[in-house]
Copies of this chain bind each other. A is one copy, B any other.
Amino acid sequence: MHSDKRASLLIKNARQLITMSGPVPRIGPQMNELGLIENGGLAACGDEIIAVGKSDEVERQTQLAENCVVIDAGGGVVTPGLIDPHTHPVFSMTREMEFEMRTLGKTYEEIAAAGGGIRASVRDLRTTPKEIIMDKTRKRLDRLLKHGVTTAEAKSGYGLTTESELMQLEIIKELNSSHPLELVPTFLGAHEVPDEYQSDRSKYIEIIINEMLPVVAERKLAEFCDIFCEENVYNIDESNKIQTAARKLGLKLKFHADELKSTGGAELAASLKATSADHLVYISDTGIKALAAAGTVATLLPGTSFSLRSKQYAPARRLIEAGAIVALATDCNPGSSYSEHFPFMASLAALNMRLTAAEAISAMTVNAACAVGREKSAGRLECGLPADIVIWDMEDYRELPYHYAVNLVSQVIKNGKLVVEN
Contact = CB atoms under 8 A, between A and B. Distances in A.
A97 interface: yes
A356 B102 CA distance: 10
A403 B356 contact: no
A402 interface: yes
A241 B220 CA distance: 75
B338 A99 contact: no
A404 B94 CA distance: 13
Contacts of A123: none
B100 A398 contact: yes
A111 to B, nearest CB: 13
A99 B401 contact: yes
Contacts of A344: 404-405
Interface stretch (A113-121, A242-250, A347-355): A347-355
Given A338-B404, A406-B340, A407-B407, A356 B309 contact: no
Q: How many protomers of this protein does the assembly include?
A: 2
B307 A339 contact: no
A17 interface: no
Nearest to A352: B309
Interface in A284-315: 303, 306-307, 309, 311
A105 interface: yes
Nearest to A99: B402
Given A306-B351, A406-B340, A103 B396 contact: no
A406 B357 contact: no
Nearest to A140: B406
A110 to B, nearest CB: 16
A200 interface: no
A104 B357 CA distance: 11
B354 A104 contact: yes
A404 B333 CA distance: 12
Given A344-B405, A351-B309, A405-B344, A399 B94 contact: yes
A96 interface: yes
A261 interface: no
A143 interface: yes
Contacts of A95: 402
A341 interface: yes
Contact of A341 (B100, B307, B405): B405
B357 A402 contact: no
B399 A355 contact: no
Contact of A401 (B103, B341, B355, B399): B103
Contacts of A104: 354, 356
Given A306-B351, A351-B103, A355-B103, A399 B96 contact: yes
Contacts of A340: 406
A404 B407 CA distance: 12
Interface in A316-356: 338-341, 344, 350-352, 354-356
Interface in A397-422: 398-399, 401-407
Nearest to A311: B311
Contacts of A341: 404-406
A143 B406 contact: yes
Interface in A136-164: 143, 147
A324 B356 CA distance: 39
A263 to B, nearest CB: 26
Contacts of A306: 351, 404
A402 B355 CA distance: 25
Shortest beta-carbon contacts, A-B, top 3: A341-B405, A99-B402, A96-B398
Given A94-B396, A307-B351, 6 more contacts: A95-B402, A100-B350, A103-B355, A143-B406, A341-B405, A341-B406
